Amino acid sequence: MQQRVIISQDIEHDLAQAIAETENDRVFVLTDDITQQCCLPKVAVLFAKHNATTITIRHDDMNKTLATLADVWTALQRGGATRHSLLVNLGGGMVTDLGGFAAATFKRGINFINIPTTLLAMVDAAVGGKTGINFGGLKNEVGAFANARYVIVNTCFLDTLDTANLCSGYAEMLKHSLISNAQMWAEHVNFDILQPDLAELQRMVAASIAVKEHIVADDPHEHGIRKALNFGHTIGHALEEFSMQQPGGAVVSARLLPLARARTAPTKPTNQTPPGTLLHGYAVAFGLIGELYISARKAGFPTARLHQTARFIRENYGAVAFTCDDYPTLLNLMRHDKKNTSDTINFTLLHDIGDIRINQTATDEEIREALDFIREGY
C-alpha cells in the first residue's frame, strides 16, 4: 500500500478528509507529553468530533523502547481497538516511528496516519514507511516497513519548536540536497535556518520530501538506491548512540548553537532541548561532514563543496565533543549498523552532489581520519 503525502495549507480540512477516506470504527491519537500540550490543541476540535481516544507517551528518543511500545498496544487493547481502527500519530519522529510500528503489529496491522510536528519528522521519519524502536542500546534495531495511509505535512506546527529542533530537521534536508542536485544544495547552504522564513521553508520542505518520495518509490525496501538516504547516518548514528550511552544521556555536544549567533536566534518557549543532548539531526550533520570527507578521499567528491558544507554546519550546529579515546567505541557502534554485511562497515558515498555510490566501504584508518576531520579539520 502506497502512502499519500499531503502538503497541507489547512490542517483541519485535510485531516478531516484523510480520516473520512480511511476505514475506521474507532480513532486513536498517539502523542507525547509535549505534543499533547503544544500541538494537539490545533486539531483537538476535529478529534473531539470523532470521539477519539488520546494515548500519550513520554517524549525523547530514550523512550522509544519495547516498554513504551507495549504501553501503546495495551492502550489500544483497553480502548477497544479492532483491525478496523485508525491510529493517528501526532508528533515528532519518535512518535511516528513507534506509533507506526505499533499500528503495523497490533491485530497484525491497522491503518495509521502520520502528522509530523517537527521539521525532522516532516522530511524524514514520517515519510517512507520505516517504523521501529530502539533496542539493546542500538537505534531503530527492531521495526518494520509499513506505510501510513496519509502523511499530512503542515508547517503550522513548527512555531512550537526551538531553534535546535529546527536545525535538527534541517540536517536531513541538507542530506537530501547533497544526494539530489547542486541547485537545491546551494539554496540550503545559503538559507538562514536560525531565523527562518517559515513560508519559504514550507516550499523547501515540499521539495525535500519529493526527493525522498522519489527514491522510496523506486526502492521501498532498501535493496538498492534507497541506501542513498543513509548518507551521513553511518557515522551519525554511531555518534547518536554513543550519546545515548553516556550517564544521564548527556554527551558529546560542546554547544548546540554557536554562541555568537544564538544570542540573536529566536527563542521558543516550548519543546526545548536539554543542554548536552545530541539530537538526531545534529548527529547526522556531523555524520555528513565525516562521510563527505570519506567521499572526497575515496570517491573524488570536490573538496571545495566539502569545506563549504562543513563550514555551514560549523556555523549553525556548533561543535561535537569526543576524543580519539572514543574511536574504538564509535567504530564498534558502526559495525552494529543495520546496513552492514558481516563486520564490513557499509557507507553511501558521493562522487559529487547527486552522484551517488552505494555499498561502499572504508578502512578503520579512513574512518578514524574522518572522525579527526569532524573534530578538528573544518
pLDDT digits (tens, 9 = 90+) for 71-104: 999 999 999 999 999 999 999 999 999 999 999 9
Enter the pTM of the model. 0.86
CA 89 to chain centre: 15
pLDDT the model gives residue 285: 97
The overall longest dimension of the chain from CA atoms, in Å, is 59
pLDDT digit string (tens) for the chain, length 378 residues: 778 999 999 999 999 999 999 989 999 999 999 999 999 999 999 999 999 999 999 998 889 999 999 999 999 999 999 999 999 999 999 999 999 999 999 999 999 999 999 999 999 888 989 999 999 988 899 999 999 999 999 988 998 889 999 999 999 999 999 999 999 999 999 999 988 988 899 899 999 999 999 999 999 888 899 999 999 999 999 999 888 776 544 333 333 333 223 323 333 333 344 445 689 999 999 999 999 999 999 999 999 999 999 999 999 999 888 899 999 999 999 998 777 776 789 999 999 999 999 999 999 999 999 999 999 875
pLDDT in tens, 157-211: 998 889 999 999 999 999 999 999 999 999 999 999 988 988 899 899 999 999 9
> Chain-wide mean pLDDT for the chain?
89
Nearest alpha-carbon partner for 174 in 92, 268, 275, 289: 289
152 in Cβ contact with 115 (< 8 Å): yes
Q: For the chain, where are the alpha helices, taking DSSP H only?
A: 11-20, 33-38, 44-49, 66-78, 93-105, 119-120, 163-178, 182-189, 198-218, 233-244, 259-262, 280-299, 303-317, 327-335, 364-376
Nearest alpha-carbon partner for 90 in 132, 134, 51, 52: 52
pLDDT the model gives residue 258: 34
pLDDT the model gives residue 257: 34
Q: Provide the 3-class DSSP secondary structure of residue 29.
A: strand
107 in Cβ contact with 56 (< 8 Å): no
CA angle 166, 251, 160 (to 5 degrees): 25
User: Which residue, chain included where needed, has cell 473520512?
Assistant: 20
pLDDT the model gives residue 277: 63
As given in the structure block, the three cell numbers for residue 271 are 519543546
CA 222 to chain centre: 17
| Tally of CA atoms within 13 A in the half-sphere of 341 that contains its CB | 5
pLDDT the model gives residue 251: 34
d(CA 219, CA 230): 13
Beta bridge partners of 114: 89, 151
206 in Cβ contact with 150 (< 8 Å): no
